[in-house]
Structure 1
Amino acid sequence: MSKQNTLDQTPRGWYLLFAVWVIATAGTLISLFFSEVVQLPVCVLCWYQRIAMYPLVLMLPLALFPFEPKVIRYAGVLTAFGWLTALFHVLLVAGLVPEGAQPCVAGIPCSEIKFTLFGFLNIPVMSLLTFSLIGILLYYSKTQESS
């Protein structure tokens, strides 16, 4: 079998799932860079988002070799949890969450921004965008699997 035939037989969902793994790996490495190299303190909501992101880096390669599309639903659950947590964090930073509902009352405040990129992208917004992109790619990989 030629290499071209092998590429033609690879499901499109595989490529999308591989892209999700690359994005999750980049998000994991960037979050570790911020906390371990730059020494930015990690708030409670950031830890919850990490709990949703880090398992994707380990889970998705197991679904790629051999391709196992059923993992998409498990990755989707983690992504939804991370997305909701990131959305709450963005709303908290924007001041739209009442003080009584804020989880970070002691220790490192979740509403404090210590890093921005281009003057408007803070870490919670970057996390929300990352989980959004992962969710979209997982959705499309799921539709590729069923078609």
Structure 2
Amino acid sequence: MVSAPFVFALMVSASAAASDGSGTEPTMRNAHLAAVTKVTIEHNGATSPAATEPAPQCADFKLSPQEVRKYLGTAAEVAEHDYLHMLDWSPCNASGKVTFKGGVTGTWEIQQYRAGSLKLSNGRTVYLYCPKCKAKAFPAADE
């Protein structure tokens, strides 16, 4: 019979092995998204409804369609729990619609600190993170 402390030690060890070791980055994996064929921006420089008050700095958070395409093509998928609990939240976001090769469509949202999400027409929700993505609207990596 396996003891409870041994099982706990295995769980902790597996959890530590799945992260980058620093505890600051979520585990990222390929999102397996098809190529983007169309991007529409519906809201740019928006303040999240979860913010307690309007954030004036959000007016400067504007992404171009090319930057959205690049983000969606580069970002990695993260677990919902990591998206909600490990990534920095920003009151500033941009959102819109996307169409992928093959006909799957979706609604996207990208936050100022490089977290994002996709709600796809096939029922799948994908949580994204792209720490290396670059756009004029993203803060510099050392900020």
TM-score, structure 1 as length reference: 0.28
Tell me: higher relative CO, structure 1 or 2? Use CA pairs within 8 A at least 6 residues apart. Answer: 1
TM-score, structure 2 as length reference: 0.29
Bigger strand fraction: 2
Bigger helix fraction: 1
